[in-house]
Structure 1
Amino acid sequence: PSFFIIRKEFSVIIDLTIAKILMVLDFLPLILLLFIDTIRSPFFFTTISLSVLNGLYIIRFMIILIKKSVGKIKKKFKLFFIGTMISLPSLIYAIIVTLQILPPIIQEIVYFLGVGELLIGFIIIYFSVYDFPPFYEFEWRNDLKRLFIINNFTKDCLFYYNFEKNKEEQIKNITFTKNDYVSDIDKIIPGGIIGIEQIVSTITGTLNKKIESIKGKDSVIFIEQGIVSSRLSYILIVKNELESFHHFLNSIRKEFESFFKEILINLDKLSEDKEIIFSSFIHIINNLI
């Protein structure tokens, strides 16, 4: 774990200098143990303290990593964290057994308890790293610009979100008019609403090829097709092309289609103001980011 956390990309969430110092200190216990005559030596407990300190820093790193991650990779990190926390007490059992401070029978029980916990922890860690998804960038939220959920056939915008506004401001202006998103999209997509319509037309006209992203001069447009309703296109506009956005847009689609499934099935029969109906999705978006 120490070598893992000193990678350059982790500099945005931890101090790599401290991580490198702790990595060096992590090797000291191995060196000191070669020169210690007895496990009751103060140096023995010093080595244990250094290991605990490094362990605490790694735990802190893993907690930050879980908070910064999304989707499947977040679940994998959580599983890895659980496995680590289960296996850690085995270190205490190992110290107790090494010190030989308990009666032989109890010490044997402690030994098998330690081995059992270590084994369970390692099994959980194994499943957490098995089929590990691509590693997502940490600062992906800072690159978000706009989200549009559009009816491919009517070209109506069912839902619109401006990520460059704070959440409170978004909730305050929870409903929007066509003029709102038309005037906004003119600023970020060449051709404005006509540009969006061209994107949608391209998507609906492409039967054999799945379009996932379109690169522009100052932005990248990620596109996800609806599954519950193939009439829908989910369009995410961002500053830079990051792998995380494929997952994020896919999560948006799943949440939207799950939350409004019955409405989407009968979308053609919907006569009410669609923008108002779908505006409650803003709360789910706020939870996703």
Structure 2
Amino acid sequence: MPRKSDTTGDLERAIDAVTASYDGPEEINNLESAAMPNKRAVIDAFNHLKPAIYLGYYSKRSLNRCNLRYALSEQLYPAYEYLSLQIGRAVTYEQRAGRCPGRGPNFAHEAALGLLNDLPRLRRLLNQDAVAAYQNDPAARSVEEVVFSYPAMEAITAHRIAHELYLMGVPIIPRIISEYAHSRTGIDINPGASIGERFFIDHGTGVVIGETSVIGDDVKIYQGVTLGALSTTRAPCDNAGNLVKRHPTIEDRVTLYAGATILGGETVIGADSVIGGNVWLTRSVPPGSKIFGRARE
């Protein structure tokens, strides 16, 4: 076993080597530029917003109308502080890198406050999502069980928050929130995806929903479904600077069974369609379609 003095010398040499590695031009160095957002602080913001949405599920005290506002303030004040600071840092960093123009000095405050003002609407949407999960999953015993334990509810909650920030033009922060949920649930929803009401993901593991996907109301998705692009080249923009649509549109009341892969920005799955397990689609199908893979002989 090496002596402690030898170990110290070895550690010092290792630290010297890592220090020297920052002398190169690598993109991950990021020493001279503006401070980037703090990932932990963004996650902390989300973890204050989530109890504010589902307060009765997370509170350690008995709640009533007398203490409800105080309990919400305990979550929303720190959520605002974390968010406004990290949004400001994200915008400053992006602007110094030549991106994210047109954000004024009050943008971070306005975006963070705008999200908090939108929470009542998001709560209504998420309530509908939880009820849809209960109604569509015979194994669910109650809405409470869905909120407490279903990974899809965490992923959808994160998405509805991240999507609002995305629509406001907040850089970096929405993706941190969505990837945090991805790492916890195995469900990958890009914050740019537009998702309608009463959205249900069953099981969830391996679901991928791309940035320009559009999903209607009352859509059900099972594990392993991919709503992807036909090309992996960098996303093009149109003359107005908007992203070209490269992911599919799923209309109302569509069911996508496990392992279905649907690709392409011009692909539309018509309302009331059912797409079977492991089906690969790169073309549109009309409303009411039933598409299943051929069984092996």
Q: Quick check: TM above 0.5? A: no
TM-score, normalised to structure 2's length?
0.22
TM-score, normalised to structure 1's length?
0.23
More helix by share: 1
> Between Structure 1 and Structure 2, whose CA radius of gyration is higher?
1
**Higher RCO (Cα < 8 Å, 6 or more apart):** 1
